[in-house]
Structure 1
Amino acid sequence: MNRDELADFLRSRRARVTPAEVGLPVGDRRRTPGLRRQEVAQLAGMSIDYYIRLEQARGPHPSRQVLSALSRALMLSHDERIYLYDLAGQVLETPRIREDVPGSVLHLISYLEEVPAYVLDARYDIRAWNPLGSAIMGDLDAQPPDRRNVIRWVFTSCEIAEHLDDQEKGRFARASVADLRAALGRYPDDRKLQALVAEMLGLSPHFAELWARHEVEIRREQRKRITHPLVGTIDAICQVMPVPDRDDLRLVLYTTEPGSPSHQALRDLRQLTLS
């Protein structure tokens, strides 16, 4: 059980929920827009003293019933509920991040000749890719293994971040950090993941600011506008698909509307990679 992280997470989620959202009167004497501690305790059906101890990182191991009640009171999303349970040590089996990619997935991305595709692990390391995926991500074959990490790219101003406009960078950075925090909840004992977070906290004030928000959300479909140096603007849907039986891996695909200028740009990029 990570008492300090659990306390921080509870405080941050309590500050996010307004009284009106849970059917409580707003009143005139509130110093902050969020819920008071006693209100969370009331909504969750527990004593105020018990809840205060949880927020002060000195409470006992909360039961599943307590965690369920807190999830409802704080209006947690599905991803946030999973993260809360993980922080409280309610994990039946400790998962691990593996570094291999199933052969069936490697075959699949090789067949996707007109779709940029790559395989991303929970640490945001790119583990496998097809030629078009390499071309759109900035020549992955030329990158050493320790540099094929999307989090490092985004927060250290490397090539991939330069392909996105400022608005896209901001959305992608926020989504990536929320997703990375969810991964740390699923893999709390992964030392490489812990080291990546520590590295980014030391190197990037922007990462540190986003990390302090305690946002938790697993990445799924997202629209992107990419400016590629060879073919110009590509408006794509970035589809993030879990690999069956491998919670630590996701297949990332960049698709475009058939017949659109972006679709033609991807075709042009493919021809350039073949030449």
Structure 2
Amino acid sequence: MDCRELGSFLKTRRARIQPSEVGLICDDRRRVPGLRRDEVALLAGMSTDYYIELEQGRGPRPSEQILTSLASALDFNPDECTYLFRLAGYAPPTASVVPGFPRVPAIHPSLRDLFGRLTAIPTLVITDLHELLAQNALAVALLGVRPTGTWPDGSFAHRWFAEPAIRVIFPEEDHAWHSQILANDLRASLARRGNDPAIAKLMIDLCTVSAEFATLWHSHDVARRRSEQKRIVHPEHGIIEVMCHNLPTEDGRQRLSWFSPVPGTAADRQFSALRASVA
């Protein structure tokens, strides 16, 4: 692994991307060209401290998943993606390693501007397969760092069924409900995509990974996610009661998801504490 060259490469790529290109607001106080380090970390779903270490040629060797997220966040072309993996000591990625090589879909223009402006509330941009495209600082503060990217690693829905450990973010008694609405929403997505054989295969593969998903999938229940109330278990602030709202694009393949406190609960105070933590 060529740590120094890897750091220099990331720094130059970061400098060429304007915040507006990835749905972030650019103000007159910006002192550096392109994205800031914390913005790259946010888009890549990793900690700012670790990204800084990478740019400085320090820290542990990044995983292929981290490299994939960085390639997506920095909008690498295939040659840049190959070079990045080579610098980190990996073989060049292929479509099987990086689905949709070399990067996840760009944020739809109709959502990009809104995402950049909703800085006072936790906000995500995801696909209809629950692949994370972007998350703002408050979303990270509320939900923790999540990997961006394509199915399977970048999809919260896939990880929900394949990696049960991530379920700690919700109370255990709510898990069955979350499983049901995720499965229902994925079936709605498959129908919206005209029963695309490639997407259907992803669902079949997930059935082999998770018996729970297989049972829910074969029930053929279908429902698109809209607005819903849920409880989030936060490591510092306890259970936070939120409303989750979804604004889809016209074709339904992407959606803006944002969270607001449930009136009459402690969530207003908890949201204020979250804002203070990222100020």
TM-score over 0.5 for the alignment?
Answer: yes
CA pair 188-267 structure 1, distance change in 2 beyond 3 A: same
User: Paired residue for 1:117?
Assistant: 123
Gaps of 5+ in 1: 1-97
Contact 1:101 1:127 in 2 (8 A): yes
What is the distance in 2 between the residues matched to 1:157 and 1:251? 24
Q: How many residues align?
A: 174
The answer for the alignment partner of 1:209 in structure 2 is 215
Q: What 5-or-longer segments of structure 2 have no aligned partner?
A: 1-103
Alignment check: 8 A CA contact 1:118 1:126 kept = yes
Matched residue, 2:269: 264
- Which residue does the alignment assign to 2:149? 145
CA contact (8 A) 2:134 2:148 kept: no
1:166-221 CA-partner distances (Å, limit 9, x unpaired): 23221111011011111111214545523431231111000001011010111111
**CA separation of 1:267 and 1:157: change in aligned 2, threshold 3 A:** farther
Supply the distance in 2 between the matched residues of 1:192 and 1:233 (Cα, whole angstroms): 38
Match runs of 1:17-32 below 5 Å: none
DSSP-derived class of the 2:253 partner? strand
The 8 Å contact of residues 131 and 148 in structure 2, kept in 1 or not, is answered as no
CA distance in 1, matches of 2:192, 2:171: 31
Bigger drift between 228-237 and 186-195 goes to 186-195
2:235 aligned with 1:235, yes or no? Answer: no
Give the distance between the partners of 2:140 and 2:198, measured in 1 at CA. Answer: 24
**1:32-77 Cα deviation digits (max 9, x unpaired):** xxxxxxxxxxxxxxxxxxxxxxxxxxxxxxxxxxxxxxxxxxxxxx
Q: Which secondary structure state, in structure 2, belongs to the residue aligned with residue 265 of structure 1?
A: helix
What does residue 71 of structure 1 align with?
none
Partner of 1:154: 160
Larger Rg belongs to: 1
CA distance in 2, matches of 1:183, 1:115: 26
Task: Report the residue type matching 1:122 in the other structure.
Answer: D
| CA–CA distance in structure 2, aligned partners of residues 137 and 258 of structure 1 | 20
Q: Could you say if the C-alpha distance between residues 189 and 257 of structure 1 is closer, same or farther in structure 2, counting changes exceeding 3 Å?
A: closer
Aligned pair in 2 of structure 1 residues 194, 220: CA closer, same or farther (>3 Å)?
same
Alpha-carbon distance, 1:233 to partner: 1.2
Runs of 4+ in 1 over 4 A off after TM superposition: none
Amino acid of the structure 1 residue aligned with 2:220? H
Per-residue CA deviation, residues 103-143 of structure 1 (Å, 9 max, x unaligned), is 45223223222311111212111112211122323213xx2
Distance 1:187 1:152, change over 3 A: same
CA-based RMSD of the aligned residues comes to 2.3
Q: Distance in 2 between matches of 1:214 and 1:178?
A: 8
Residues 153 and 269 (structure 1), Cα distance of their counterparts in 2 relative to 1, 3 Å cut: farther
CA–CA distance in structure 2, aligned partners of residues 167 and 259 of structure 1: 22
- Provide TM-score, normalisation by structure 2: 0.56
- Identity across aligned pairs (percent)? 25
CA distance in 2, matches of 1:156, 1:120: 19
- Give the conservation status (yes or no) of the 8 Å contact 1:220–1:240: yes
- Cα contact 2:126–2:132 (8 A) shared by 1: yes
- Distance change >3 Å, CA 192–CA 116, structure 1 → 2: farther
Q: TM-score, normalised by structure 1?
A: 0.57
Which residue of 86, 100, 106 corresponds with 2:106? Answer: 100
